[in-house]
Amino acid sequence: MKKFALAGNPNSGKTTLFNSLTGSTAHVGNWPGVTVDKREGIYRKSDESVYIVDLPGIYSLSPYTPEEVVSRNFIIDEKPDCVINIIDATNLERNLYLTTQLLEIDVPIVVALNMSDVVRKNGDEIDASALSKRLGVPVVEISALKEEHLDELMQEAIKASNSPRKGITVIQNRNLLHLINDVNIAFELKNIENPLFHAIKLVELDELEMKMHPETVETVNKFKATFENDIFGNDFEALIADSRYEYITKNYATTLKKNKKSKDGSEKLTKSDKIDKVMTHKIWAIPIFVFIMFLVFHLTFSEDLFFLNGLFHLELNNEVAVNIFSGMAYDGQALQGIPSPGVLLQNWMGFLTGKLIDIFRSFMPVGTWYTSLVCDGILTGLDAVLSFIPQVMILFLFIAILEDSGYMSRVAFILDRAFRKFGLSGKAFIPMLTGFGCSVPAIMATRTLEDEREKNRTIRLMTCFSCGAKAPIWALLAATGVMAGFAGDLFVFAIYLGGIACAIIFALFMKLFSKDRYVSPFIMELPAYHMPQAKNVAAHLWDKLKHYLIKASTIIAACTIVVWFLSNFGWDFWHNNAFNSAFDPNDIASYTFKLGNSTQYYLTEITNKDGVVSTIYNMKWSILGTLGQGLRYIFYPLGALEGGWAHGADAWKYSVSIITGLVAKEDVVATMVQLGLNEETIGLSIAGVYSFAFYNLFTLPCFAAIGAARAEQKGKEFWLTILWWLAMSYGFTLIVYWLGSIFSVVWWAGVLVALVLIGIVVGVGITIDRRNKSNKERIKE
Amino acid sequence: MLKKLDAIQKGETGLVKNVEGDGKIRRRLFDMGVTPGAKVTFRKKAPMGDPIEITIRGYELSLRKAEASLVIIDVEDAQ
């Protein structure tokens, strides 16, 4: 099968093109190894299928960022049959810069001119055939979004892949060309592949190249000594970058015909500029940011939409309305307000999965171990995970919309200054935002941070950002009785906000103990705002949903079986509930509670209407129960005691679910529900809710994320990260629980504390900054 | 008038004269199109005063004042 690579700038529509070409065959490349985010898929619409690799978005083939190195190595080492270079036609000049570098490699290239319809709409025009002539490679105008001319593009690419292409360069400085030629010939004689590309990189004194060809470096240096240029001296790197842009500017001028109307000199504000004026406003930017985040969580988790009930004391008694809003489960209770779309869908999903389990149970024999395994084990566990899908998806939907619209990079722009105070760059913000989705790609994304220390810090802070898999925990806790009324969404908001506040405090703490004040550069494109594209958002959501479903059907299902076994069997395997727990609750005639004879097993004898006696062992004495009771002592100071996390003796259940959460964070809720903890039976106090939530938030992430951290960090640093996660979560939760208990917190306290913490930190930061500045000024004087 | 890019003011436009700094940062600036001769226009400052946003080669680029101070520009006189 032929192999094509997709290369292009970030924001050039590369992902859209990739999704359009490969349809549902795409899968995200796995995390170990050198791929930052290399996706692979198959194009099937031509006679022969083509294997397509989506390389990370890059601006150049310099040796400085991992994405660039990955792309460069892929094209050179894996030798794709063709490189499709996607170019954003609305930003031709900078996009072509990468093209000029790709052209130097001996590989067939086809340029996909994306968004040319937008250019035309603006009244401008791009002469594609002239551009093709200049570049010497086919140029196809496409619209990745509207899927226009994609087949044509692929035909061209297949055609191009049949004939080899020799690298060419656009550099026109005669003296420099002379040197490049000499090195090129030397490389050709040595039978080095892609001689021109390597020659130019060597002349640039590219780090990677100098290591590969140390013997030729001398030639370049000798030449350099004799070389003089008016502007650049003998700085070849600058000279080469400049001659690329020089060429493009010339090229660009003749291929792009600007609409005469817009050429009158006065620059009109585009819609994007107008939006940006508000979103990055000096005063309003930060309140707007907080408001948007609040709205996202409110629409996802609120049980009382827009506080209508809180404000107007609406009580929904109408049976039909209650049925609709709470998922066909009218029990005579009035609804406390209209639920948000997230809660509404969750109610419905829970209703459906609940019904599904009932149907399964009705078809399976009563009182067998496999009925118990399927219904009480696997299905109940999966139900807990699956019923939260609507909420998780709605949260992802909002994040995807914010990302696709271009707002997310503005957030980095707005907050960079604050982040830098805490020893992080605004760039670290992007992995952190990813962390709200999933810690695994987020930790992988820290690879884009060039500075080792910044990378380590960012990885350690990652658990502060509540990942999607943790959302069900908050959703479950938010729905419990102690959160009475409309506080659920505010609790979730407080968890997210509190996480961010702690990230800031922890970062400051790390910075205090670091001697180095170096911060890596922040040079970032701010793409124009555009309407989020339903297709992009849907593709993104589908990706997440698929990932979630795969996880649910594999690792989580496996875990629920293990939990089922451990919670239904005692240490002697004899005392178990697997054979008799699935009786019909309506048939119970009488109970007797007993203490088992020779052993410590508490048991309940149940007699049904037919006089059949079955014995139920208290889960507390199962394998899991005893383990959990041991673990409970570890969590005792954090609230694993009566009145804290638990009603009576349930504390071990919370302890166990923390441990199963290591497998996958969805398992926390799956285990809790399997062990009989749900909205009604969860008996956390308010302080307990916060302590349990924050412990789960900050502690070790799932094994997959730990594995990702292991791949990114070397020896000691990795173990320090593990230690940090353990110590920080324990210490912080301890404080939360005891402060919370002393002041017997109410629902809004979490939000208030989070806001006050952020306020204090920002205040202290500004004071320190001012003092530093005035010190510097004093030194100058 | 020559000045550093971090001192660019509202409404100002200039041509890049020189890019200082070393290795990585300098190359990054080149790759993003900040090369001598390129036209830069001030767009805005972030709410906290840093980073700044400029228009260069037809797109919006944001960079910190620390990086911008490596770029020397020749500001056109206001018309």
Q: What is the pLDDT of residue A334?
A: 62
Do residues A157 and A179 both lie within one domain? Answer: no
Q: What is the pLDDT of residue A105?
A: 93
Please say which residue of A261, A284, A300 terminates a domain: A261
Q: What is the pLDDT of residue A229?
A: 64
**Comparing A260 with A300, which gets the higher pLDDT?**
A300
User: What chain A residue is nearest to B61 in terms of C-alpha separation?
Assistant: A525
Averaged pLDDT score across all residues of chain A:
77
- Residue A457 pLDDT more than 70? yes
Q: What is the pLDDT of residue A286?
A: 85
Q: Output the CA torsion A209→A214→A220→A221 (10° steps).
A: 120
Q: Which residues in B lie closer than 8 A to residue A450 (C-beta atoms)?
A: 24
Do residues A132 and A8 both lie within one domain? Answer: yes
**Comparing A450 with A737, which gets the higher pLDDT?**
A737
User: Looking at CA atoms only, how far is residue A167 from chain B in angstroms?
Assistant: 20
Domain total of chain A: 3
**Comparing A468 with A317, which gets the higher pLDDT?**
A468
**Comparing A652 with A158, which gets the higher pLDDT?**
A158
Residue span of the structural domain in which B48 resides: 2-75
Window from A13-27, A64-78, A662-676, A690-704 with minimum mean pLDDT: A13-27
Q: Which residues in B lie closer than 8 A to residue A246 (C-beta atoms)?
A: 37
Window from A239-243, A298-302, A715-719 with minimum mean pLDDT: A298-302
Q: Give the tens place of pLDDT for each residue, A342-393.
A: 778 878 888 888 888 888 888 887 767 777 788 877 887 777 667 767 877 8
Span A583-611, average pLDDT = 57
Q: What is the pLDDT of residue A617?
A: 63
Do residues A131 and A222 both lie within one domain? Answer: no
Would you say A490 and A751 are in contact if contact means Cβ atoms under 8 Å apart?
A: yes
Q: Which residues in B lie closer than 8 A to residue A426 (C-beta atoms)?
A: 51
Indicate whether A371 belongs to any domain.
Answer: no
A710 touches chain B (CB under 8 A): no
Which residues make Cβ contacts (< 8 Å) with residue A555, sequence separation at least 6? A663, A664
Span A542-565, average pLDDT = 76
Determine how many CB atoms are found less than 10 A away from the CB of residue A21: 26
**Comparing A296 with A724, which gets the higher pLDDT?**
A724
Query: CB pairs below 8 Å between A and B: how many?
Result: 120
Indicate whether A369 belongs to any domain.
Answer: no
Q: What is the pLDDT of residue A341?
A: 83
- Residue A597 pLDDT more than 50? no
Q: Give the tens place of pLDDT for each residue, A533-550.
A: 787 788 777 877 777 677
Q: What is the pLDDT of residue A616?
A: 64
Domain total of chain B: 1
A242 touches chain B (CB under 8 A): yes
Span A515-526, average pLDDT = 73
Span A712-741, average pLDDT = 84
Do residues A156 and A181 both lie within one domain? Answer: no
Q: How confident is the model at residue A487 (pLDDT cuts 50, 70, 90)?
A: low
A605 touches chain B (CB under 8 A): no
Would you say A165 and A109 are in contact if contact means Cβ atoms under 8 Å apart?
A: yes
A526 touches chain B (CB under 8 A): yes
Please say which residue of A161, A191, A213 terminates a domain: A161
User: Looking at CA atoms only, how far is residue B40 from chain A in angstroms?
Assistant: 14
Which residues make Cβ contacts (< 8 Å) with residue A91, sequence separation at least 6? A9, A12, B57, B58, B59
Would you say A428 and A419 are in contact if contact means Cβ atoms under 8 Å apart?
A: yes
**Interface pTM (ipTM) of the complex?**
0.94
A530 touches chain B (CB under 8 A): no
Q: Which residues 53-112 of A have a C-beta within 8 angstroms of B?
A: 59-60, 62, 64, 91-94, 97
Task: Report which residue type is found at A136.
Answer: G
Q: Give the tens place of pLDDT for each residue, A769-780.
A: 566 555 554 444
User: Looking at CA atoms only, how far is residue B65 from chain A in angstroms?
Assistant: 9
Report the distance separating Cα A630 and Cα B7, nearest Å.
63
Residue span of the structural domain in which A406 resides: 391-551+656-768
Do residues A420 and A517 both lie within one domain? Answer: yes
Map residue A49 onto helix, strand or coil.
coil
User: Looking at CA atoms only, how far is residue A277 from chain B in angstroms?
Assistant: 9
Burial B5-19 (b: 16+ CB within 10 A, else e): bbebeeebbbebeeb
- Residue A35 pLDDT more than 60? no
Angle made by CA atoms A538, A539, A541, in degrees to the nearest 5: 60
Determine how many CB atoms are found less than 10 A away from the CB of residue A526: 23
Inter-CA distances, A287 with A293, A424, A431, A562, A718, Å: 10, 22, 23, 47, 37
Q: Give the tens place of pLDDT for each residue, A174-196.
A: 778 888 888 888 888 888 888 89
B50–A416 C-beta distance less than 8 A: yes
Report the distance separating Cα A254 and Cα A428, nearest Å.
40
Please say which residue of A240, A261, A282 terminates a domain: A261
User: Looking at CA atoms only, how far is residue B44 from chain A in angstroms?
Assistant: 9
User: What chain B residue is nearest to A283 in terms of C-alpha separation?
Assistant: B47
Q: Which residues in A lie closer than 8 A to residue B31 (C-beta atoms)?
A: 59-60, 62, 97, 241
Query: What is the percent of chain A with per-residue pLDDT over 70, rounded to a whole number?
Result: 74
Q: What is the pLDDT of residue A32?
A: 27
A97–B35 C-beta distance less than 8 A: no
**Comparing A426 with A474, which gets the higher pLDDT?**
A474
- Comparing CB atoms, the residue among B28, B32, B67 nearest residue A64 is B28
CATH of the domain at A190: 1.10.287.1770
- Residue A436 pLDDT more than 70? yes
Residues paired with A443 in a beta bridge: none
Q: What is the pLDDT of residue B16?
A: 92
Span A407-416, average pLDDT = 83
Do residues A409 and A521 both lie within one domain? Answer: yes
pLDDT tens digits, chain B, 79 residues: what are they?
Answer: 899 999 998 889 999 988 888 778 888 899 999 988 889 999 999 888 889 999 998 889 999 998 999 999 999 865 4
CATH of the domain at A64: 3.40.50.300
Element (H, E) at A356: helix A341-363
Q: What tokens were used for A663? A: 């497998």
Q: Give the tens place of pLDDT for each residue, A101-125.
A: 999 999 999 999 998 888 888 778 8
Q: What tokens were used for A139? A: 């140029």
Q: Give the tens place of pLDDT for each residue, A45-95.
A: 888 889 999 888 889 988 777 778 888 888 988 899 999 999 998 888 889
- Residue A758 pLDDT more than 70? no
A282–B60 C-beta distance less than 8 A: no
- Comparing CB atoms, the residue among A93, A238, A246 nearest residue B58 is A93
Q: What is the pLDDT of residue A594?
A: 56
- Comparing CB atoms, the residue among A281, A282, A521 nearest residue B28 is A521
A97–B31 C-beta distance less than 8 A: yes
User: Looking at CA atoms only, how far is residue A200 from chain B in angstroms?
Assistant: 15
Beta strand pairing call for A39-43 and B39-45: unpaired
Residues paired with A111 in a beta bridge: A85, A139
Indicate whether A621 belongs to any domain.
Answer: no
- Comparing CB atoms, the residue among A59, A64, A519 nearest residue B32 is A59
- Residue A488 pLDDT more than 80? no
Do residues A544 and A686 both lie within one domain? Answer: yes
Q: Give the tens place of pLDDT for each residue, A699-715.
A: 988 877 887 788 778 77
Do residues A530 and A663 both lie within one domain? Answer: yes
Q: What is the pLDDT of residue A676?
A: 75
B30–A521 C-beta distance less than 8 A: no
Q: Which residues in A lie closer than 8 A to residue B18 (C-beta atoms)?
A: 231
Helix axes A214-226, A174-189, angle to 10 degrees: 160
* Length of chain A as a residue count: 781
Q: What is the pLDDT of residue A99?
A: 94
CATH of the domain at B20: 2.30.30.90
Map residue A704 onto helix, strand or coil.
helix
Q: What tokens were used for A534? A: 């339903």
Do residues A103 and A247 both lie within one domain? Answer: no
B32–A64 C-beta distance less than 8 A: no
Q: What is the pLDDT of residue A299?
A: 83
Do residues A97 and A216 both lie within one domain? Answer: no
Indicate whether A454 belongs to any domain.
Answer: yes
Indicate whether A451 belongs to any domain.
Answer: yes
Indicate whether A588 belongs to any domain.
Answer: no
Do residues A410 and A490 both lie within one domain? Answer: yes
Do residues A102 and A206 both lie within one domain? Answer: no
Q: Give the tens place of pLDDT for each residue, A234-277.
A: 678 888 888 899 888 887 766 666 654 444 444 566 778 888 88
Angle made by CA atoms A413, A419, A423, in degrees to the nearest 5: 135
Indicate whether A189 belongs to any domain.
Answer: yes
The contact set of B with A (CB < 8 A) is 18-19, 23-33, 35-38, 44-51, 53, 57-64, 66-67
User: What chain B residue is nearest to A766 in terms of C-alpha separation?
Assistant: B48
A418 touches chain B (CB under 8 A): yes
Report the distance separating Cα A201 and Cα A209, nearest Å.
6
Indicate whether A362 belongs to any domain.
Answer: no
Q: How confident is the model at residue A454 (pLDDT cuts 50, 70, 90)?
A: confident
Q: What is the pLDDT of residue B14?
A: 92
Interface mutation target, options B13, B35, B39, chain A, most CBs of A under 10 Å: B35
Residue with tokens 């049904």: A608
pTM for the whole thing?
Answer: 0.74
Q: Which residues in A lie closer than 8 A to residue B23 (C-beta atoms)?
A: 64
Helices marked H in A424-470: 429-435, 439-445, 452-461
Span A617-635, average pLDDT = 77
- Residue A690 pLDDT more than 90? no
- Comparing CB atoms, the residue among A62, A232, A286 nearest residue B27 is A62
